[in-house]
Amino acid sequence: MKDREKTITRRDFLRGATCATLALTMGLLPEEEKTVELPTKTKVVLIRDPEVIDAKGRINAKVIQQMLDEAVTALFDKKDPVESWKLLVKPKDVVGIKSNVWGPLLTPKEV
Amino acid sequence: MKHQFLSRYVVTSVFVITICIATISVCSTIKESEKSMHMREFVPNEIYGWRAQGEVEIYDRKTIFDYIDGAGEIYLSYGFRKVMVFRFIKASDPTILVELFDMGSPEDAFGVFSHAREGEEQGIGQGSEYRGGLLCFWKGNFFVCVFSERETPAAKKAVFDLAEKIAEKIEVTGAKPKLLDYLPAEGLLNQSVRYFHLHASLNYHYFVASQNILKLNPQTEAVLARYQPGGGFLLCVRYQNSRQAKEAFDSFLGAYIPEEKESGIAQTENEKWVAAKLEPVFVMVIFDAPTKAYAQALMEAFEDKLSESTSEEGRGL
User: Does residue B106 surpass a pLDDT of 50?
Assistant: yes
Predicted confidence (pLDDT) per residue in B59-95, tens digit: 999 999 888 876 788 999 999 999 999 999 999 899 9
pLDDT at B100: 97
Domain holding B259: CATH number?
3.40.1000
If interface means Cβ-Cβ distance under 8 Å, which residues of chain A face chain B? 3-4, 6-11, 13-15, 18, 98-104
If interface means Cβ-Cβ distance under 8 Å, which residues of chain B face chain A? 67-71, 97, 134, 147, 149, 207-211, 213, 254-256, 268-270, 287
B119 and B182 co-located in one domain: no
User: Does residue A2 surpass a pLDDT of 70?
Assistant: no
Contact A4 B134 (CB under 8 A): no
Cβ–Cβ under 8 Å, residues B217 and A12: no
User: Does residue B34 surpass a pLDDT of 70?
Assistant: no
In a domain, B104, yes or no: yes
Show which of B140, B169, B198 is a domain's final residue: B169
Judged by average pLDDT, the poorest of A68-77, A92-101, B180-189, B234-243 is A92-101
Contact A9 B208 (CB under 8 A): yes
What is the three-class DSSP state of B264? coil
- ipTM for this model: 0.76
B136 and B100 co-located in one domain: yes
Q: How far is A7 from chain B (nearest CA, A)?
A: 5
Q: What is the mean pLDDT of residues B230-252?
A: 95
User: Does residue B317 surpass a pLDDT of 50?
Assistant: no
In a domain, B113, yes or no: yes
Cβ–Cβ under 8 Å, residues B147 and B96: yes
Q: How far is A17 from chain B (nearest CA, A)?
A: 10
Distance CA A25, CA B302 (A): 42
What is the number of domains present in chain B?
Answer: 2
More confident residue, B263 or B10: B263
pLDDT band at B287 (very low <50, low <70, confident <90, very high): very high
- How many A×B Cβ pairs under 8 Å? 53
pLDDT at A99: 76
Judged by average pLDDT, the poorest of A90-104, B220-234, B239-253 is A90-104
Contact A99 B208 (CB under 8 A): no
Contact B70 A99 (CB under 8 A): yes
pLDDT at A1: 45
Domain that residue B81 falls in: 40-169
pLDDT at A40: 67
Mean of pLDDT over chain B? 88
Please give the angle made by the CA atoms of B310, B311 and B315, to the nearest 5 degrees: 115
Q: For B259-280, b where at least 16 C-beta lie within 10 A, e where not — what string?
A: eeeeebbbbbeeebbbbbbbbe
**Global pTM value:** 0.77
List of chain B residues whose C-beta atoms are within 8 Å of the C-beta of residue A11: 256, 268-269
User: Does residue B165 surpass a pLDDT of 90?
Assistant: yes
pLDDT at B154: 94
Strand partners, B2: none
Distance CA A76, CA A35 (A): 11
Percent of chain B scored above 90 by pLDDT? Answer: 73
Distance CA B159, CA B177 (A): 28
Q: What is the mean pLDDT of residues A5-28?
A: 68
Distance CA A54, CA A59 (A): 7
Show which of B148, B169, B190 is a domain's final residue: B169
List of chain A residues whose C-beta atoms are within 8 Å of the C-beta of residue B70: 98-102
Show which of B169, B194, B216 is a domain's final residue: B169
B165 and B215 co-located in one domain: no
pLDDT at B16: 54
